[in-house]
Amino acid sequence: MASAIFSCSSLYTTSYNKTSSSSTSLMFGHGRRRLSHSPNNALRFTTPPVCSSSNNNNNKHHHFSSHNPQQQKDRFSGIKEWVISVALAAALTTGAPTMGFPSNANAVAPALPDLAVLISGPPIKDPGALLRYALPIDNKAIREVQKPLEDITESLKNSGTKALDSVERNLKQASRALKQGKSMIIAGVAESKKDHAIELLGKLEFGMEELQKIAEDKKREAVAPKQKELLQYVGGVEEDMVDAFPYDIPEEYQKMPLLKGRATVDMKVKVKDNPNLEECVFRIVLDGYNAPVTAGNFIDLVERHFYDGMEIQRADGFVVQTGDPEGPAEGFIDPSTEKTRTIPLEIMVEGEKAPVYGVTLEDIGLYKAQTKLPFNAFGTMAMAREEFENNSGSSQVFWLLKESELTPSNANILDGRYAVFGYVTQNEDFLADLKVGDVIDSIQVVDGLDNLVNPSYKIAG
């Protein structure tokens, strides 16, 4: 069993060695390996993933069954905020992060930006919004529609009729932006996708009228589902603005499995010894626009059924991790080479046209750079790797169980050091229920497989 040890000078976990009984100090890892802390797809409206409760006599599937996800998040919020506070406080005191990084990591300058960045504003924590903003597009008109629709979430935090009054203001702002900017939005759509985008804009306009009526009728409980639907339309239009993969991948990585676009997978996990939950399906959107090598490697392994039947190997309230296969290997052994397949560290920086490879942002002095895929959302998915080897990622992945109230983008100990390549977009709250020993029944690609190029699973037969 893993145990966590937290202090102002260290923050690490001890876990079992898979080849011996001795304990090893680890971060985002399991076994002997020291791992550092350690297309128009969105509008198909496939049946959403479900979670089932083991104390439901009929064993029926419900979207959130009898389990209250907010209570789960509340249960972990105290320890999460304390852990983050300790790590951030230590970093601010010493000038260096203290989560397993080498002590000389900040030989040139502090890894953390100045205080003005820390308090610059609330981070975007919704995975859907993060994915929309991460698309390689530059269309101000559609963003001006998107933002007030997303702000409805904050409006609903108000009490009583004040919330619905604020929702109506958000809607009026979005409707006005759509009316004024519709021609600019359509002009920004790829020519081959214009008909689809125009159809989505029509649905968006009609949907906003429906939401206006919902707000006027004071049906508060119906606001959030309709808001989510409208943002799916917005996201679909934004995806239609991407005409082709926007940059050339470095030659040394071009023969690797690459995800040139986005893909969606469903991960079904069987949960043991939990009276509240029996199994759960997590929907994950993988972003190949910003991490084509990392996401492509993962999808290739999914298609090989590499993760099917694998246990959750770390679950400590901070991360959930898996991907370490049985036996001495600590990653995926490519049968064509009989060697571990490794991938480079891959990080897309805001404002850049292509990712940087093989280096952390700290390595190249970009201490204040924003990453396109930040560790903001509960359920952010990233690649684990050896602490001192940037290009050692293989098959081990983790999901972060935190949000960024205390550590906004580029001010935490993860952004710019680890390759984020997706977000859990449905049932992410249930990640907090997973334990070591729970089993991944399957991971299946439900959309976007056609964006995978150079699939090695086909070469291997």
Non-local CB neighbours of 124 within 8 Å, separated by 6+ positions: 130, 133, 376
Burial of 372 from C-beta contacts in 10 A (0-12 / 13-18 / 19+): buried
Q: Which of 23, 248, 235, 219 is nearest to 131 (CA)?
A: 235
Kindly report the pTM of this predicted structure. 0.78
Task: Sort strands 314-315 and 380-383 into parallel, antiparallel or unpaired.
Answer: unpaired
* Strand residue runs (E) in 209-288: 258-259, 262-270, 279-287
Say how far apart CA 244 and CA 39 lie, in whole Å: 10
Say how far apart CA 438 and CA 443 lie, in whole Å: 14
Say how far apart CA 341 and CA 392 lie, in whole Å: 9
Per-position pLDDT tens, the chain of length 461:
333 222 222 223 333 334 333 322 234 544 434 334 334 444 444 455 678 765 544 333 333 233 444 444 444 444 444 444 444 333 322 232 223 333 222 223 333 333 333 334 578 899 999 999 999 999 999 999 999 999 999 999 998 888 999 999 999 999 999 999 999 999 999 999 999 999 999 999 999 999 999 999 999 999 999 999 999 999 999 999 999 999 999 999 999 999 999 999 999 999 998 888 899 999 999 999 999 999 999 999 999 999 999 999 999 999 999 999 999 888 999 999 999 999 999 999 999 999 999 999 999 999 889 999 999 999 999 999 998 999 999 999 999 998 765 555 666 789 999 999 999 999 999 999 999 999 999 999 999 999 999 998 887 65
Q: How is 415-446 classified by DSSP, letter by letter?
A: TTTS-EEEEEEESGGGGGG--TT-EEEEEEEE
Which tokens is 343 given?
């991938």
Say how far apart CA 94 and CA 366 lie, in whole Å: 19
